[in-house]
Amino acid sequence: MEKNTKKEVYSWIKSILFAAIIVFVCRYFIFVPSVVVGQSMMPNLQDGNRIIVSKLSKIERFDEIVFHAPDADEDYVKRVIGLPGDKVEMKNDELYINGKKYDEPYLKQYKSALPPMQKLTGDFSLQDPPTNAKVVPKGYLFVLGDNRKISKDSRIFGFVPMKSVVGKVKIRFWPLNEINVFK
């Protein structure tokens, strides 16, 4: 009987170690939890929202990403607007990428609440400081917060190096009444 107990204990230890290894691999190499800090991504992501970030997902235009802030010892959540090689500019509150006008449906709530003739986003181009470039350089992204009036984003700190990207926001899991899976 003692031999069976040892086998059972050994089996449990193996199972627990295997589960711990799986959790470790997932946590450090595949998915990472994060917390939204601040109001720069409102109304889509709120201060205090808990999110899951995928480290393996391909980053595409208009994805919400988490990255290591270039100007602070924290992570930021912003929306990817410009990819390497893109020419980005804002004219009369309209986004243009490579000369093509893009609709920004995630800003609809903010724009509809503005008084007539007021802009959500001031005019800019990549040639303005701090980016001072014609296009987004290779290995970098141009990001903006959805709450454009208060967001500290690429208009302030410049391009975001791809190597500083933690990953793509995939799931909001807190608060429970706002659970959402992102594309």
| Active site positions, annotated | 40, 78
Contact 36, 48 (CB under 8 A): yes
Distance CA 81, CA 1 (A): 66
CA distance 122 to 150: 12
CA proximity to 62, closest of 141, 136, 162: 141
Give CA–CA dist 77/83, Å, rounded.
16
3-state secondary structure of 110: helix
